[in-house]
């Protein structure tokens, strides 16, 4: 299972709210809800988040068995 727990930690460290994430990444609130529920999202969304947060993919998501 892919989980996005690290995303929230990274956002907090960088001073990003979900509002700022939506505005800077161009993603909608439905996608934020999907991230919080650890549901599937598109790789282009992951790319947008990494670009906005200036981070690596392992800073926002991880695989858990």
Domain boundaries, the chain: 2-63
- Global confidence as pTM: 0.89
pLDDT one digit per residue (tens) for the chain, 65 residues: 999 999 999 999 999 999 998 888 889 999 999 999 999 999 999 999 999 999 999 999 999 99
- What's the CA gap between 9 and 4, in Å, rounded? 9
Vertex 17: Cα angle to 11 and 19 (nearest 5)? 135
* Six-digit token string for 19: 């509002």
Please give the CATH superfamily to which domain 2-63 belongs: lambda repressor-like DNA-binding domains (1.10.260.40)
Mean pLDDT, the chain, as a whole number? 94
* Six-digit token string for 64: 């858990």
pLDDT digit string, tens, across residues 31-47: 999 999 999 999 999 99
């Amino acid at each position: 299972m892919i989980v996005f727990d690290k995303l929230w930690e990274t956002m907090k460290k960088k001073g990003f709210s979900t509002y700022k994430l939506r505005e800077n990444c161009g993603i909608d609130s439905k996608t934020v809800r999907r991230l919080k529920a650890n549901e599937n999202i598109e790789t282009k969304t992951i790319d947008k988040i990494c670009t906005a947060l200036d981070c690596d993919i392992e800073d926002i998501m991880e695989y858990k068995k």
